[in-house]
Amino acid sequence: MTITRTLLCTAVAAALAAGAAPQASAQSIIAMTRPGNFTFGPALVAVPIAPGVFQTPAFFNAANQRFIVSYTAECAVAAAAGNTSTWLDLTIRVVNLGTGAITVLPPTVGGADAFCTSNGTAADDGWVMAAVNAVGGAGLPAGNYVVQVQAALSGAGTGHLGDTSLIVWR
Amino acid sequence: MKQALGWIERGVVALLSAAIGWTLGASQHVHPPQAAPQPSLAGAGVLRATQGWSVMSYPQPPGTAAAPSASPSPASVEAACPPRATPQERTQWLNAIREGDESTRIDGLLKTRSAGVPLPDDLLQTLFENDASERVRLLAFENYLEPRSGSVEGMRQALQAALDIPSAAIQADARRRLSQLAELEHNDAAHPQLTQ
């Protein structure tokens, strides 16, 4: 009796343990890196994501299918000495190749999302490796898309984005 | 004697537990063939897959999806994840890219990209060097360049080699990219990252 009860409990426990480990996984669709540095003034510019490349290869996305754009870059902002509030605003957007519609992916919408900020010295220093995960897909129709990255400064100064990576995954 | 029986009982329980656990766990890892995401306007298969409970699924408007349960079943979590391409699907896509008409070849290139399936270099090279369709050549070329993105020299070599390909579209694309690459190198050299 004891053996039967023990066996039963053990079987149930084993079944629960086996069922509690679902196989969930992500897959990368695009992976690009860029060595070297890219320097720009305060105005909005297109940011290279690879040597000589300013947008990703095209990929298909079903209607409302979520995808994530992970972008990392070594970042610095040089502004006037004492200025600790000029930031580099990054914009990650997708272009629907069929319609030409452009969608900026949150949280990079608007100009108030600082990727990195001036550190109070006028020199090109204070480098950090910054990152953002932009989320896309909700509300987008099925189609072929490319990803582009843009950057601007919130004030006078010089922005730097170097040694970057861009991964599109779902 | 009683103590020996106790040890035997524990041993039997341990063996049976291991067998049951292994069997159940193994059965979970066997996936039936799944339909690949279809690059059609409907996209119904993928939409259906995102309606289950998962941290990766979109919030659904009330009434359009089952309410999240307190303890989601493994099946519902798995359904919310993107389906992986099966070997059969990969073979089908490769055949479509090699043998299909223009739209089928483009479709195949985009499907493999969307499924995260890398294409072999020699296939991409054959396509962007010889394909009859300019759209296929350019799509294959940008796919070919992607894994070379991490190296300026690797990218430059690929672009320079493309200048010899008898395709006006590929040559123009390679020239444009080489020009942009030179501009970026100039930009980088003008603002070196100094150490103290």
Q: How does pLDDT run across A123-164, given as a tens digit for each residue?
A: 989 999 999 999 999 999 999 999 999 999 999 999 999 999
Residue B126 lies in a domain: yes
Chain B residues with CB-CB distance to A142 below 8 A? 39-43
Q: Model pTM?
A: 0.71
Task: Give the C-alpha separation, A51 to A48, whole Å.
Answer: 7
**The pLDDT of residue B86:** 83
First to last CA, chain A: 51
Residue B121 lies in a domain: yes
CATH number for the domain spanning A110: value is: 2.60.120
Domain count, chain A: 1
- Hey, how many other C-beta atoms are within 10 angstroms of the C-beta on B121? 12
> Could you report the per-residue pLDDT of A73-126, keeping only the tens digit for each?
999 999 999 999 999 999 999 999 999 999 999 999 999 999 999 999 999 899
Residues 18-47 of B with CB under 8 A from A: 20-21, 24-25, 28-29, 37-43, 45-47
Mutate to test the interface with B, among A53, A56, A168, A169 (most CBs of B within 10 A): A53
**The pLDDT of residue A56:** 96
CB contact at 8 A, A55 and A49: yes
Q: Which residue of A has its CA nearest to B185?
A: A36
The domain containing residue A86 runs over which residues?
23-169
Residue A7 lies in a domain: no
Looking at A13-17, A24-28, B188-192, which range is the least confident one? A13-17
Amino acid at A120: G
Residue A158 lies in a domain: yes
- What is the count of residue pairs from A and B with beta carbons less than 8 Å apart? 187
> Could you report the per-residue pLDDT of A111-123, keeping only the tens digit for each?
999 999 999 999 9
Residue B70 lies in a domain: no
Average of per-residue pLDDT across A10-14: 54
Q: List the single residue in B21, B110, B159 with the smallest CB-CB distance to A18.
A: B21
Q: How far B54 CA lies from chain A's nearest CA (Å)?
A: 10
Q: Which residue of B has its CA nearest to A123?
A: B194
The contacts of residue B64 (CB under 8 Å, 6+ apart) are B51
Task: Give the C-alpha separation, B158 to B152, whole Å.
Answer: 10
Nearest CA among B150, B162, B38 for reference residue A51? B150
Residue B43 lies in a domain: no
**The pLDDT of residue A26:** 83
Chain B residues with CB-CB distance to A53 below 8 A? 145, 149, 155, 177, 180
Residue B102 lies in a domain: yes
Average of per-residue pLDDT across A26-49: 94
The domain containing residue B154 runs over which residues?
87-189
Residue A29 lies in a domain: yes
Residue B194 lies in a domain: no
Percent of chain A predicted with pLDDT > 70: 86
Domain count, chain B: 1
A64 vs B47: CB contact, 8 Å cut-off?
yes
Mutate to test the interface with B, among A2, A5, A37 (most CBs of B within 10 A): A37
DSSP string for B22-81: HHHHHHHT-PPP-PPPP-SS--HHHHHHTTSS-TTSPPPPTTSSPPPPSS--HHHHHHTS
CB contact at 8 A, A148 and A48: no
Task: Give the C-alpha separation, A21 to B26, whole Å.
Answer: 11
> Could you report the per-residue pLDDT of A44-71, keeping only the tens digit for each?
999 999 999 999 999 999 999 999 999 9
Residue A11 lies in a domain: no
Average of per-residue pLDDT across A11-30: 62
**The pLDDT of residue B75:** 39
> Could you report the per-residue pLDDT of B136-155, keeping only the tens digit for each?
999 999 999 999 999 999 99
Residue A8 lies in a domain: no
**The pLDDT of residue B27:** 42
Which residues of chain B carry a pLDDT beneath 50?
Answer: 21, 23-81
Q: Which two tokens stand for residue B48?
A: 């259906």
Residue A4 lies in a domain: no
